[in-house]
């Protein structure tokens, strides 16, 4: 009887092994969602791990899990390592391919659980974007791992649905601006003396221009009286904005001088530290659009402002055509 039972068990195990070998070795899980934002904004968000904790479906499984990033800040070479409780385990994810505003592909190492390839595909649909998240897993050469294959869609699919929902909420809270082709560099600014006059004007181009002219006129008189020399292009520093007005400092870099301010003219040191820089080319009245795109760029790339933006008016508007006027915008960051 024992021999018969042993033979039956061996036969059963053989059958199970054969069935296991017949099951697919490669398994794919796919989920999609539509996000009411341009593809460029979503791509910037998923092409790094800076904001991953904000939309990861596994973050809530272990809020105290240890996560570190290394390599590139974004794109190919960006890497995330994590370790946590039994629900999240230990592993790493490395971005291996990025196609701007179209796709991001990563290799994932789940440690003892094996490896997988994650793909995020973006398809623009008018003002919205359809994003598809796909996970391809190799269940191994042996039959045991393959038995888990048919369960993966049900197990991981619900996580993907939750993660895409969180991504949608995150990105749709960002400014609705297309950041494709928006060129930004990271710079370090040094402190330098300058004269500033604070102005407040209604939110219209003519009024703001008039206020700037008034500020620069006061600075010009002060420089002439104190025999000071200009040491760079005029600039503007936003201070605050209400629904109807803009408050800013009209500024002028000067060569070092031991003078004090008087009346509305103040002597200050310019910002020193890290900043993001972009160059606006065109009429000043279009600057508002550039600032909107800049804000969206910072949100998607997870940069935190350390102050208000600084605008350097590189060209003289009286001698430069409006469509070629250059304005360098510096946004202090932490």
Q: Which pLDDT score is estimated for 5?
A: 63
- Is the CB of residue 125 less than 8 Å from the CB of residue 34? yes
End-of-domain residue from the set 172, 203, 226: 172
- Supply the CATH number for residue 64's domain: 3.30.530.20
Residues 35 and 168 in one domain: yes
Residues 273 and 166 in one domain: no
Residues 239 and 327 in one domain: yes
Q: Is residue 153 one of the residues assigned to a domain?
A: yes
β-sheet bridge partners, residue 43: none
Q: Which residues contact 155 (CB under 8 A, 6 or more apart)?
A: none
- Is the CB of residue 213 less than 8 Å from the CB of residue 207? no
Q: In what order do the strands lie in the sheet with 115-125?
A: 26-35, 128-138, 115-125, 103-109, 90-99, 78-83, 66-71
Q: What is the mean pLDDT of each run of 10 residues along the chain (334 residues)?
A: 62 50 67 98 98 93 91 97 90 97 95 86 96 83 51 76 97 97 96 94 87 94 91 90 90 84 86 97 89 97 95 87 92 96
Q: Is residue 180 one of the residues assigned to a domain?
A: no
Residues 191 and 294 in one domain: yes
Q: Is residue 230 one of the residues assigned to a domain?
A: yes
- Residue 65's φ and ψ, nearest 5 degrees, are -60, 150
Residues 221 and 325 in one domain: yes
Per the structure, the count of domains in the chain is 2
Instruction: For residue 193, give its domain range.
Output: 185-332
Q: Which pLDDT score is estimated for 28?
A: 85
Q: Which residues contact 274 (CB under 8 A, 6 or more apart)?
A: 186, 187, 188, 189, 306, 332, 333, 334
Residues 168 and 212 in one domain: no
Q: Is residue 15 one of the residues assigned to a domain?
A: no
Q: Is residue 222 one of the residues assigned to a domain?
A: yes
Query: Cα separations (Å) of 85 from 57, 62, 161?
Result: 15, 6, 22
Q: Is residue 3 one of the residues assigned to a domain?
A: no
Q: Is residue 88 one of the residues assigned to a domain?
A: yes
Residues 164 and 193 in one domain: no
Q: Is residue 5 one of the residues assigned to a domain?
A: no
- Supply the CATH number for residue 194's domain: 3.20.80.10
End-of-domain residue from the set 172, 205, 226: 172
End-of-domain residue from the set 110, 142, 172: 172
Alpha helices, H only, the chain: 2-22, 39-46, 52-55, 143-146, 149-172, 205-226, 287-300
The residue among 101, 106, 102, 39 whose CA lies nearest residue 72 is 106
Residues 165 and 198 in one domain: no
Question: Token match 């934002």: residue?
Answer: 37
Provide the whole-model pTM. 0.84
The residue among 94, 21, 112, 316 whose CA lies nearest residue 327 is 316
- Residue 159's φ and ψ, nearest 5 degrees, are -65, -45
């Amino acid at each position: 009887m024992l021999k018969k039972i042993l033979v039956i068990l061996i036969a059963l195990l053989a059958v199970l092994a054969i069935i296991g070998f017949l099951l697919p070795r490669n398994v794919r899980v796919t989920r999609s969602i539509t996000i009411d934002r341009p593809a460029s904004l979503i791509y910037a968000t998923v092409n790094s791990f800076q904001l991953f904790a904000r939309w990861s479906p596994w973050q809530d499984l272990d809020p105290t899990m240890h996560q570190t990033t290394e390599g590139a800040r974004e794109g190919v070479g960006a890497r995330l390592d994590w370790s946590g409780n039994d629900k999240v385990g230990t592993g790493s994810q490395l971005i291996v391919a990025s196609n701007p505003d179209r796709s991001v592909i990563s290799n994932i190492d789940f440690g003892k659980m094996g490896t997988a390839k994650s793909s995020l595909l973006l398809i623009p649909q008018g003002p919205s974007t359809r994003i598809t998240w796909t996970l391809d897993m190799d269940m191994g050469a042996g039959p045991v791992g393959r038995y888990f294959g048919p369960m993966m869609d049900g197990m991981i699919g619900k996580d993907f649905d939750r993660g895409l929902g969180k991504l949608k909420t995150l990105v749709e809270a960002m400014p609705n601006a297309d950041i494709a082709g928006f060129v930004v560099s990271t710079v370090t600014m040094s402190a330098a003396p300058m004269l500033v006059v604070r102005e407040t004007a209604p939110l219209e181009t003519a009024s703001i221009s008039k206020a700037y002219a008034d500020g620069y006129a006061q600075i010009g008189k002060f420089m002439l009286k104190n025999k000071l020399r200009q040491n760079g292009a005029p600039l503007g520093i936003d201070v605050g904005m209400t629904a109807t007005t803009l408050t800013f400092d009209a500024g002028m870099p000067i060569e070092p001088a031991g003078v004090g301010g008087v009346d509305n003219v103040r002597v200050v040191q310019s910002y020193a530290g890290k900043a993001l820089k972009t160059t606006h080319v065109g009429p000043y009245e279009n600057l508002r659009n550039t600032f909107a795109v800049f804000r969206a760029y910072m949100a998607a790339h997870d940069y935190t402002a350390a102050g208000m933006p600084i605008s350097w008016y590189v060209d003289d508007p009286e001698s430069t055509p409006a469509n070629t006027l250059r304005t360098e915008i510096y946004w202090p960051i932490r």
